[in-house]
Amino acid sequence: MLEVTRLHVFYGRAHILADVALSVDKGEVVALLGRNGAGKSTTLKSVIGLLRPADGEIRFDGEPIAGQPSHVICRKGIGYVPEERRVFSDLTVLENLEVGRQAPRTGLPSWTTDRLFDLFPNLAELRTRPAGRMSGGEQQMLTIARTLMGNPRAVLLDEPSEGLAPVIVEQMAATITELKRAGLTVLLSEQNLRFATRVADRAYIIEKGRIRYEGTMDALMADESVRSAYLTV
Amino acid sequence: MGFYIVQVLTGLSSAAALFLVASGLSIIFGVTRVVNLAHGSFYMLGAYIAYSLIDLFGRGGLGFWGGIVLAAVAVGMIGAIVEVLILRRVYQAPELFQLVATFGVILVIQDIALLVWGAEDLVGHRAPGLTGAVDIMGTPLPAYDLALIAISPVVLAGLWLLFNRTRWGTLVRAATQDREMVGALGVNQAWLFTGTFFLGSMLAGLGGAVQLPKGGADLLMDFNVIAAAFVVVVVGGMGSIFGAFLAAVLIAELNAFGILVFPEITLVLMFLVMAVVLIFRPWGLLGSPEAPGQKGQQGPPEQPLRPAPVRVQMAGVAVVGFLALLPVVAGPFALVLTVDILIFALFAVSLHFIMGPGGMVSFGHAAYFGGGAYGAALLIHYANSNMESAMALGPVLAAVLALVFGWFCVRLSGVYLAMLTLAFAQVAWSVVFQWNDVTGGDDGLLYIVKSAWADTAQSWVPFYLLTAVLCLSAMLFLRRVLFSPFGYAMRACRDSELRSHAIGINVLEQRWLAFTLSGVAAGVAGSLYVFSKGSAFPDYMSIPLSFDALIMVLLGGVKTLLGPIVGAVTFTWIQDEISRFEYWRFFLGLAIILLVIAFPQGIAGFGRRYLGPWFGIRAEEAQ
Ligand SMILES: Nc1ncnc2c1ncn2[C@@H]1O[C@H](COP(=O)(O)OP(=O)(O)OP(=O)(O)O)[C@@H](O)[C@H]1O
Ligand SMILES: [Mg+2]
């Protein structure tokens, strides 16, 4: 469903991604693992169009999307949940959701605020609270809900578990499993291997802007040498 | 009692136009991060177009109010067209670059207005049914003032509903905080920006149109209102509509009463209010504490400064040789033009010094240029000083102004800093403009004679050589400073205030010194200028001159050291070539707009990319 090949990305003169390739099938949850600064966020930002790749191809449903503006990519059905949350802090929860709202897609059940409040019960109580005055965990839930309002077919989650209390991490894992059950395709970046094992089917490991490993989550868990080479600090 | 009530009401009524213009400016800046200098031009167009429409529709109630509303809509559409045709092409350029394009728009609109409506001031139509006066406890108040008083709250309420009760408004508020994220959520920013420009320009047009019965329409409205609008926006807090309303009322009321107590102060009053507010509330009355200048940073980061490679040094030597030989081959006209170019190059370099490496944008750098000019002129007039000592001591006045103004300015950052510099420059200008006894006011100080050896009635060569030596040395000196520890510390402060502080740099002091040094250099340029022209006028301190310098720096390219020089040469030369035509502003504006679109990284940035490799600047460095 989502296919990245030969992706090269620069920040100014710095060559950040070199020849990155990965693919995600429909309905799959894939984890992109790597240490700090490995290039996970850069990869996701390139897919959603916030960064312009210098070279390479990105296809969504077979259609090339590399280099297009992010709103066009989003409307094709890719949702993006940024690492730094980036909620609109002056806007209320409902208004944040409104910004994310896009027309329903034919043939797919669409997300409504009511459905989202079922999925994230604590948001329901905060409808009119400005997002700037919510806890980190609540904000993380809000960014996911906001992205779902666009009725995406695939979601990019940048480190969904980062900086969350253990009980919230638990909740986040449940949410992702829920999304998978609803038929969504998920590509998430993670440093937290335990979290990734809970939710992902397959994994890629990125290190210094290159893909170093590709395999099922089970295979990765069985391969102690790979994990110690690329993941433990 | 009635008198005071009427005074309060008069203040409220004059707040209307101010609020309308300022709220539009604030909305446009909030979403697009464009400092729209042409906003005053939209205001002016609103007045002119309303004038013509009311003529066309007849002066009945429907014709009058219909004319006003349609004029506002028409101006909104003009704003949208400017956005689509021009600004949309340069959003990716470095921050503030877009304001160069809006400056071009000002010039174009000025000449179009001159062509269509003529140079005569137009007296506005009276509002049907509101031509009389109402009696308030024995004091008359024009009935139309009541209509004006009603307009602001109605517009304020309308804007509130728009921003809080519609999807479009929600998107605009979200984009004000994080426009990139709004795009990633599937919103086409391009149309959001165009819509914002439509709304903001429409408000400016409405402001111009509703004040027509009181103030009429004239060709100076654009610059007259723009400074006031900036003050209102900054005092109210960038992006806060309600703040703009409060600030407009505050300033209009202070004016209404200030004029009773001390009529001369009105020109300065508004700027003093702004200075006071910003010192105590650096983000305005209702603004939020974030530096608006930092979020919109576009384009790749600046390249580290490097000493010039050999070929660049050789090119520099060639330029000096060319300048030295010029008197042999060129006639007096070319020398006069080169003197202007050299002086403005130094002026632009001095501004770039704080704007580029210093990270402090000044919208009022003419204050120091004019400070040097008046410093020298006053010495000649009152101290019988000769040219040499006047030229040497003239910049002291610039230094004093820069020390005083700078002390306040360096405490702010981003657009707030820029606006405060504008405010101070305007205070300085007002003092020079109004202090007739000392400065000669509008008539200026004439007969600033040169010493016999540099007498240009005989030959321009000696004065030309003097200018060349002084300007080149001053520019080289500023360049040396940038490569000294002082220059490193300055850039450190720009890039991270916190970390600079941590390594023991006194950030405020550092910025203050840089600001002052830059002011002195501008003063040197000014004191040369006053002798080259033989007179000093308040124009040397005015907003248009400050904007000229800004345009030179941005047009040349703020991220390169050569940029300001290239910009000054291009701008001064084009202006000289074009100003012989009748509608030269139109063509100058057009030229600026085209340059902006052709060179979004500035002319020097462009040159660096394509000529850089030949000069030994490594290709990958040449962004
Ligand atoms: N705006 C930027 N300008 C220059 N370099 C950047 C920028 N953003 C990131 N980088 C660099 O790009 C590399 C990859 O960064 P990226 O954010 O993709 O890493 P990451 O894997 O998401 O790390 P983290 O786990 O810390 O989020 C890093 O070396 C980083 O220093
Ligand atoms: Mg990251």
Helices B543-556 and B584-598: crossing angle in degrees, nearest 10, is 30
- Judge if ipTM > 0.95: no
Cβ distance B205 to B43 under 8 Å?
yes
Average pLDDT of the segment spanning B25-36? 89
- Identify which of B185, B300, B620 has the shortest CB distance to residue A74: B185
- Same-domain check for residues B254 and B118: yes
Q: What is the pLDDT of residues A175-188, one digit of tens each?
A: 999 999 988 999 99
Asked if A74 and B623 come within 8 Å (Cβ–Cβ), the reply is no
Per-residue pLDDT, A159: 93
Chain B residues at the A interface, defined by Cβ less than 8 Å, are 167, 170-171, 173-174, 177-178, 180-189, 300-301, 620-621, 623
B264 lies in some domain: yes
B90 lies in some domain: yes
CA distance B307 to A78: 47
Per-residue pLDDT, B611: 80
Name, of B28-37, B277-286, B378-387, the range with top average pLDDT.
B378-387
- Same-domain check for residues B17 and B157: yes
In this structure, how many other beta carbons lie within 10 angstroms of the beta carbon of residue B202?
25
Per-residue pLDDT, B302: 65
Higher pLDDT pick, B557 / B347:
B347
Mutation target vs B (from A85, A99, A102, A144; most B CBs, 10 A cutoff): A99
B545: CATH: 1.10.3470
- Structure tokens given for B452: 């016999």
pLDDT value at B297 more than 70: no
CB contacts of B177 in chain A (<8 Å) are 88-91
- Give me the number of domains chain B comprises: 2
Q: Cβ of A142 under 8 Å from any chain B Cβ?
A: no
Average pLDDT of the segment spanning A10-20? 89
B296 lies in some domain: no
Asked if A82 and B187 come within 8 Å (Cβ–Cβ), the reply is no
Average pLDDT of the segment spanning B203-209? 97
Q: How far does the CA of residue B300 sit from the closest CA of chain A (Å)?
A: 6
- The angle subtended at Cα B281 by Cα B10 and Cα B516, nearest 5°, is 105
CB contacts of B189 in chain A (<8 Å) are 71
CA-based nearest residue to B621, from B563, B559, B567 = B559
Question: Alpha carbon of B607 to those of A58, B317, B415, B475, B622: distances in Å?
Answer: 34, 19, 28, 20, 9
B407 lies in some domain: yes
Ligand 1, atom nearest to B301 Cα: 3
Cβ distance B370 to B545 under 8 Å?
yes
pLDDT value at B294 more than 70: no
Mean pLDDT, chain A, as a whole number? 91
B292 lies in some domain: no
Per-residue pLDDT, B622: 38
B306 lies in some domain: no
pLDDT value at A233 more than 60: no
The residue type found at B295 is K
Q: What is the pLDDT of residues A29-57, one digit of tens each?
A: 999 999 899 999 999 999 999 999 999 99
- Same-domain check for residues B233 and B167: yes
In this structure, how many other beta carbons lie within 10 angstroms of the beta carbon of residue B474?
22
- Same-domain check for residues B192 and B320: no
Sole residue written with tokens 């409104």: A98
Cα first-last separation, chain A = 33
Average pLDDT of the segment spanning B449-462? 88
Strand partners, A185: A154
- Same-domain check for residues B380 and B469: yes
With a Cβ cut-off of 6 Å, ligand 1 is lined by A 11, 14, 16, 34, 36-42, 83, 191
- Same-domain check for residues B325 and B409: yes
The residues, any chain, with a CB within 8 Å of residue B329's CB and separated by 6 or more, are none
Q: Which domain-ending residue is among B280, B302, B330?
A: B280
Per-residue pLDDT, B620: 43
Q: What is the pLDDT of residues B101-155, one digit of tens each?
A: 999 999 999 999 999 999 999 999 888 888 888 988 888 899 999 999 999 999 9
- Same-domain check for residues B357 and B271: no
- Same-domain check for residues B321 and B245: no
Cβ distance B619 to B613 under 8 Å?
yes
In this structure, how many other beta carbons lie within 10 angstroms of the beta carbon of residue B281?
14
CATH code of the domain occupying A2-230: 3.40.50.300
- Same-domain check for residues B347 and B265: no
pLDDT value at A26 more than 80: yes
B467 lies in some domain: yes
- Same-domain check for residues B504 and B397: yes
Name, of A173-182, A220-229, B612-621, the range with top average pLDDT.
A173-182
Per-residue pLDDT, A155: 96
B565 lies in some domain: no
Phi, psi of A196 (to 5 degrees): -60, -40
CB contacts of A102 in chain B (<8 Å) are 186
Mutation target vs A (from B181, B559, B618; most A CBs, 10 A cutoff): B181
Per-residue pLDDT, B301: 59
Per-residue pLDDT, A103: 87
Phi, psi of B513 (to 5 degrees): -65, -45
- Same-domain check for residues B538 and B391: yes
Helices B98-117 and B543-556: crossing angle in degrees, nearest 10, is 130
In this structure, how many other beta carbons lie within 10 angstroms of the beta carbon of residue B61?
11
pLDDT band at A232 (very low <50, low <70, confident <90, very high): low
Nearest CA in chain A to B618: A13
Which residue segment(s) compose the domain that B377 sits in?
A: 314-556
Cβ distance A47 to A9 under 8 Å?
no
A224: burial class by Cβ within 10 Å (0-12, 13-18, 19+)? exposed
Mean pLDDT, chain B, as a whole number? 90
Per-residue pLDDT, A148: 94
- Structure tokens given for B122: 């137009």
Per-residue pLDDT, B121: 95
- Identify which of A12, A86, A101 has the shortest CB distance to residue B300: A12
Cβ distance B239 to B173 under 8 Å?
no
The domain limits of chain A are: 2-230
CA-based nearest residue to B83, from B193, B235, B211 = B193
Question: Alpha carbon of B590 to those of B107, B556, B585, B587, B596: distances in Å?
Answer: 8, 17, 8, 5, 10
pLDDT band at A141 (very low <50, low <70, confident <90, very high): very high
Cβ distance A21 to A6 under 8 Å?
yes
Ligand 1, atom nearest to A35 Cα: 25
The SS3 of residue A3 is strand
- Structure tokens given for B107: 């010039």
Sole residue written with tokens 């605009």: B172
pLDDT value at B290 more than 70: no
Per-residue pLDDT, B368: 98
